[in-house]
Amino acid sequence: MLSPRKRDAFLKMFVKKLYQPIHASSLAIFRIFFGLMMAFSMLRFMLKGWVYDLYVKPKFFFTFYGFDWVKPWPEWGIYAHFIVLFLLALFISLGFYYRLSMFLFFLGFTYVELIDKSNYLNHYYFISLISGLMILMPLHHKWSVDAWRKPHLYSTKVPVWPLYVLRLQMGLVYFFAGVAKLNSDWLFHAQPLRTWLSMNVDFPILGPWFNQAWVAYAMSWMGAIFDLTIPFFLLGRRTRAFAYLAVIIFHLVTWRLFRIGMFPWIMMVSTTVFFSTHWPEIFYQRLRRFLPFFGISKVSSKVKSSSSFITQTVTEKKSETGLVQANTHNGHFSKIFVNRKQKILIGFFGIYFFIQFFLPIRHIFYPGDVMWGEEGLRFSWRVMLMEKNGSIDFRVVDPETGRRWLVNANQYLQPYQFKQMSTQPDMILQMAHHIEQDFSSKGLKHIEVYADTNVSLNGRMNQRLIDPKVDLAKESRGFHHKKWITPFINSAVP
Amino acid sequence: MFKFNCLSSKFTLNKILKSVVVSSIIISPVLYLACGSSGSGSGGPSPSGNLDQNQMLKELSENVIIPSYADFKEATGELQTSLVAFCESPDLDKLGQAQAEWKTTQEKLSRTESFGFGPYHDQNFDNEIHFWPTEPDFIESAISNNEEFSPEVLAGLAGGVSTRGVPAIEYLLFDGAGDSQKILDFFTQNENAARRCNFLVAIGSELQKQSTALHDAWSAEGENYAKQFYSAGQSGSSFATLHDAINLMVNEWAFSVDYIRDLKLAQPIGLKSGSDVPLPETVESPYARYSKESIVVELKGMQSLYRGDYGVHQGLGIQDLVKEKNVNASEVLDQLIVDAIEGMEAVPGSLHDALTENPASIENAYEKIKTLRDYLYGPLASLLGVTTKFSDNDGD
């Protein structure tokens, strides 16, 4: 245990580190691009008809446990919701009522994602997290309407902690995505990548190679190594440029191969937080060399003197929002004042990152293979790891009369919902409960609901996912282990 | 200034980065030799990967799909000829001829059901040609209330597509009990006999038009959807990637099996409605008692798509694609299709009658078709990476 004095010194040192002033440019650019990407995403969602397909057309929604109270708006409301999200994203980009816009965007976006589990994607979760974190971050002090409207807000410096937070969050995404790839299917059978690559034999130039098994193995291993190491290489001053090039190549290839929507672009933009904090100025400076007519005001001599994006700088004192207000170069922290707001912020991020470290590994507390039972699978960055398909029939039995029904759940669901439900135990349970309620509303009380499932994981032969003898109507939802999930038999992968 | 000391330049990260990339490239072929080739024994995946998938789609289009639609079109023409002949001078012989032509038409239609994607679905041919169950009340009402049946009148009838197509013609030509005299009387003795014939010929003509349009939609002489399909992923095709076309085809193929299981078998068995007795009236062709034969032919159509052969035509099929990925899987699937066909063929008499007289045979057929369905939706979908999703996803 640290003595109170040492603890106090440690806290002050920590605060000093977190509140070092840095250039506001890279974070301002991050805000601008994040807003633009979100605006584009919302527009794309509406123009592709997904608002109707995902939130109007379905008659039933798979809510998240504990969030059953989240219901979709009526049709006009959900369209209005997306229009508002689009506008909020533009406001974020412009830095217009930034904090309020960010807060409302976070709420609105997360609400949409909570409506239906069928639409869960890791990058939507990532956006919710980032937008939630951004509420707390002073990213509107530069290149924003807010700073233009309120000159006292304008600042070329911001504390460094938002950068650390974003980098850590990004790093966790990559790192745990890499850890998740350390399984036998991925490493020793190159599955499911082998299947997916073979679907892309018409890919320009490389396509004919995609049917070659060794290519799938090479890409599987390189993918795992990329995810596990890229945050560290991005942090390293000397490796950053090469690492970012790898980020771009990796995400462009996956974007072209797998049609994963906005995810690659979001990651390519988000990883700019690993750059030097004044990279936009350096970038502009370089651009001017090639485009002399691009005349804007002079860039500071300090920036001019920098020759790359990798400089991590600024030690000057600055009396701006939340920045350290004492000379700390002598190694003494007695003059640093750690205020209540800072303590709360540190406490918040401590808890936040504890959860972020815990969630991806929580599956170890459940028996069985996480890809099979999917207990602890969501919110853990297990991206592009499995090709899971199956069929399901529900059997309803009235124990009083002995009457039996074979229920095809597609009468309640859209095809994409059915596909998701057919291989995910918690969604199967929700479907069983919905069937029970439907029968109950027709006057058939106390029925039993059984699921007849056949599921194939990464090309294996079918196995039963759910114990067909368990009455799911009597089973409860929750975070406890579901004993009715049939144990996975690790049979041969083709 | 805060530095990431744990990654200082002493670690020479460039070297580390280069070495991990190089080592992963080196280790991968070794792993392939060590693990990949031993994954599935003698039935393991082919390492060659030389199948020209566009060519496979082309051969399927030209050898199976278009010839099947051509046969259906020809059958509707023969059917219409027989209907016109019957209505000119109705008698039992001509009725028998019309009934035989209807069965041929139904067979040719069933043969196409497993590739009901593209124009068949997109241009609403599925509803216009094969909406079932038909609605007798609407048909009788249409006959009672109209003298003439122009295409405009047909299009405006109450009951819509349930009053036309192959099932509606079945209703008019068969009575379910095989009593042809009773049917003939409707066309000769009934007060609406003439109208009945007019209606029959009118919907027969409409069916012929639809089948011709469907064939034209696929053929090179018409809209040439086939070219869109087999040139998937190339410029000029509406399919952005080759996989999109394969995905669509395999999805429809699998769906047709589930449709047989769910609506053509589970429903009449009584499984869907909680009935403790079978429901023969819900079979696909209750009036002609031709449901079993239709299912058998539909499964054979599915087999054609798999094997790439139809009549005198032979070429690449889905089986070649599956074989390229896993020889064993291709053989298993072929056998499951054969089992399903044999299971249906083993049902004695008509499906309608067997439901009450020999339910065990139908349950046996049901299980075989369900097994086939499970394989298509499970291992095959995983093997080919097909998905029913329509929005972007990040794969988990």
Preceding omega of A280 cis (within 30 degrees of 0): no
Strands B313-314 and B309-310 turn out to be antiparallel
Quick one: pLDDT at residue A1? 62
Q: Where do the domains of chain B lie?
A: 40-53+240-384, 55-226
| Residue pLDDT, tens place only, A94-139 | 999 999 999 999 999 999 999 999 999 999 999 999 999 999 999 9
Taking an 8 Å cut-off on Cβ atoms, the answer to whether B21 and A405 are in contact is no
Interfacial A residues in 98-137 facing B (CB < 8 Å): 119, 121-123
Give whole-number Cα distances, A181 to A199, A265, B304, in Å: 21, 22, 40
What pTM value is reported for the model?
0.86
- pLDDT computed for residue A258 by the predictor: 81
> Is the alpha carbon torsion for A100, A102, A105, A107 positive or negative?
negative
B321 and B384 in contact (C-beta within 8 Å)? Answer: yes
d(CA B292, CA B269): 13
**Count of other CB atoms within 10 angstroms of residue B16:** 16
Question: What's at A241, amino acid-wise?
Answer: A
ipTM of the modeled complex: 0.83
Same fold, B40-53+240-384 and B55-226: yes
> CA neighbours within 13 Å on the CB side: how many for A112?
27
What's the maximum distance between 2 C-alpha atoms anywhere in chain A? 87
Whether A408 and chain B come into contact, CB under 8 Å, resolves to yes
For residue A288, what pLDDT is reported? Answer: 79
Q: How far is CA B252 from CA A112, B247, B295, in A?
A: 31, 9, 16
Q: Which residue of chain A has the CA closest to B33?
A: A214
Question: What pLDDT shows up at residue B49?
Answer: 59
CA separation for the pair B121, A80 (Å, rounded): 32
Which chain B residue's Cα is nearest to A396?
B274
Contacts of A196 in chain B (CB under 8 A): 385, 395
User: Hey, what are B280's tokens?
Assistant: 């023969």
| Burial (Cβ within 10 Å: 0-12, 13-18, ≥19) of residue A454 | buried
> Contacts of residue A48 in chain B, CB cutoff 8 Å?
391
Give yes or no for a contact between A234 and B6, defined as CB atoms under 8 angstroms apart.
Answer: no
The answer to whether residue A354 neighbours chain B at the CB level (below 8 Å) is no
- Residue B66: strand pairing partners: none
Q: What is the CATH number of domain B40-53+240-384?
A: 1.20.1420.20
SS3 A150: coil
3-state secondary structure of A397: strand
Q: Do B394 and A239 touch (CB under 8 A)?
A: no
Nearest one of B228, B187, B225 to B99, comparing CA atoms: B187
pLDDT in tens, chain A (494 residues): 678 788 888 888 888 889 999 999 999 999 999 999 999 999 999 999 999 999 999 999 999 999 999 999 999 999 999 999 999 999 999 999 999 999 999 999 999 999 999 999 999 999 999 999 999 999 999 999 999 999 999 999 999 999 999 999 999 999 999 999 999 999 999 999 998 898 888 888 888 888 888 999 999 999 999 999 999 999 998 999 999 999 999 999 888 888 778 888 998 999 999 998 888 888 888 887 776 655 544 444 444 444 344 333 333 334 334 444 433 444 444 455 678 888 899 999 999 999 999 999 999 999 999 999 999 999 999 988 999 999 999 999 999 999 999 999 999 999 999 999 999 999 999 999 999 999 999 999 899 999 999 999 998 999 999 999 999 999 999 999 999 999 999 887 77
What distances in angstroms separate CA A431 from CA A62, A377, B48, B321, one per listed residue?
Answer: 8, 19, 43, 35
Q: Do B17 and A239 touch (CB under 8 A)?
A: yes
Contact across the interface for B383 and A195, Cβ inside 8 Å: yes
Closest CB from A263, A315, A390 relative to B377? A390
Task: Tally Cβ neighbours within 10 Å of residue A315.
Answer: 9
Contact call for B40 and A398, based on CB within 8 A: no
Map residue B111 onto helix, strand or coil.
Answer: helix
Would you call the peptide bond into B278 cis, given omega within 30 degrees of 0 as the criterion? Answer: no
First and final C-alpha spacing in chain A: 54
Instruction: State the greatest distance between any 2 C-alpha atoms of chain B, in Å, as a whole number.
Output: 103
Instruction: Find the CB nearest B383 among A20, A403, A494.
Output: A494
Would you say domain B55-226 falls under CATH 1.20.1420.20?
A: yes
Q: Which amino acid is at A339?
A: N
Which two three-digit tokens encode residue B176? 């379910």
Residues in chain B with pLDDT values less than 70: 1-49, 388-396
Looking at the partner chain, which of A210, A236, A384 has a beta carbon nearest the beta carbon of B396? A384
Helix axes A340-358, A161-180, angle to 10 degrees: 10
Mutate to test the interface with A, among B18, B28, B249 (most CBs of A within 10 A): B28
